[in-house]
Amino acid sequence: MSVPIVRTLADLRSVVAGWRKDKARIAVVPTMGALHEGHLSLVRAALARADRVIVTLFVNPKQFNSAADLAAYPRTEEEDADKLAPLGAHLLYVPDGSEIYPPGFATTVSVTGVSEGLCGAKRPGHFDGVATVVAKLFLQTGADIAFFGEKDLQQLHVVRRMASDLDLPIEIVGCPTVREADGLALSSRNVRLSAGERAIAPKLVAILDEAARSLSAGAPAASLLQAANRSILAAGFREVEYVELRSAADLAPLELADRPARLLAAAWLGQTRLIDNVVVQPAAE
């Protein structure tokens, strides 16, 4: 069976209105396509918690920092639809650009605090673009529950903050990062890695895991993070944007893992920017 595709807000609303009449609980999984097992795990989680699951596919120009990156973003709608069909997703919403940003569109949803630092520091406007499109997708679909991957941990926090601050009647669920057998976090950008880069890429999470073990044992972050930074460069990455220890609850910077925490990193491998994060559990008292 194939997954039905709608491209206009009017068609989306008429499908959703039918489901609402049946009192269905509706989930949304927002994506930019190029679906991989990470996305599919979100769809499975959504199917387990809702009666109807809408996957959205929109390559959102407002969250890209360069026209070249936007142009190079993989677009694989047919393959994406083929991957969704066997799972039993109920609808694929692929809005035309004008359904999201009609002429004259002038509104930005901007979340302060949690969107600053980490990826926000190097990608000005990125989280405004994410918050704006996600707010629209929530309102357009009218979903009760939404699913996001923890690989983009800062994005998950930005979306949670936005939904809470704007009283959007939707539950936000974060799902664990899906990894290749060698540890590399799945990402639509991984297809851009050369064979040599692909061999280096899993070293990022290996270095984070090792640092996380020392942090869990009570080591102070400052020198460990510097050492992790040097190890990432030594492994063959071109540039490290950040390696930081943050509180798991609100992403506040930490100097010690004295509460549940995450170690997050972004680094460039050739022309590809990879991000990842790992759990840091404080040592039991």
Residues marked active site are found at: 39
**149 labelled binding-site residue:** yes
3-state SS track over 247-278: ECCCCCECCCCCCCEEEEEEEEECCEEEEEEE
Query: Which residue lies nearer to ligand PAF by CB, 31 or 231?
Result: 31
Residue 95 binds ligand PAF, judged by CB under 6 A: no
**77 labelled binding-site residue:** no
Residue 31 binds ligand PAF, judged by CB under 6 A: yes
The single residue among 12, 32, 172, 264 that binds ligand PAF, judged by CB under 6 A, is 32
**32 labelled binding-site residue:** yes
The single residue among 35, 50, 133, 240 that binds ligand PAF, judged by CB under 6 A, is 133
Residue 131 binds ligand PAF, judged by CB under 6 A: no
Q: What is the DSSP string of the chain?
A: -PPPEE-SHHHHHHHHHHHHHTT--EEEEEE-S---HHHHHHHHHHHHH-SEEEEEE---GGG-S-HHHHHHS---HHHHHHHHGGGT--EEE---HHHHS-TT--------STTSSTHHHHSTTHHHHHHHHHHHHHHHHT-SEEEEEGGGHHHHHHHHHHHHHTT-S-EEEEEPPPB-TTSPBP-GGGGG--HHHHHHTTHHHHHHHHHHHHHHTT--HHHHHHHHHHHHHHHT-SEEEEEEEEETTT--B-SS--SSEEEEEEEEETTEEEEEEEEEPPPP-
Residue 280 binds ligand PAF, judged by CB under 6 A: no
Residue 135 binds ligand PAF, judged by CB under 6 A: no
The single residue among 47, 53, 54, 60 that binds ligand PAF, judged by CB under 6 A, is 60
Cα–Cα dist 9/7, whole Å: 7
Stretch that binds ligand PAF, among 66-74, 90-98, 126-134, 175-183 (CB under 6 A): 126-134
Stretch that binds ligand PAF, among 1-9, 29-37, 76-84, 264-272 (CB under 6 A): 29-37
Q: How far is the CB of 31 from ligand PAF (least distance, A)?
A: 5
Residue 187 binds ligand PAF, judged by CB under 6 A: no
**39 labelled binding-site residue:** yes
Query: Which residue lies nearer to ligand PAF by CB, 225 or 275?
Result: 275
Query: Which residue lies nearer to ligand PAF by CB, 175 or 245?
Result: 175
Q: Which residues are annotated as a binding site?
A: 32-39, 63, 149-152, 155, 178, 186-189
Q: Which residues are annotated as a binding site for (R)-pantoate?
A: 63, 155
Q: Which residues are annotated as a binding site for beta-alanine?
A: 63
Rule CB under 6 A: which residues touch ligand PAF?
Answer: 30-32, 60, 63, 130, 133-134, 152, 155
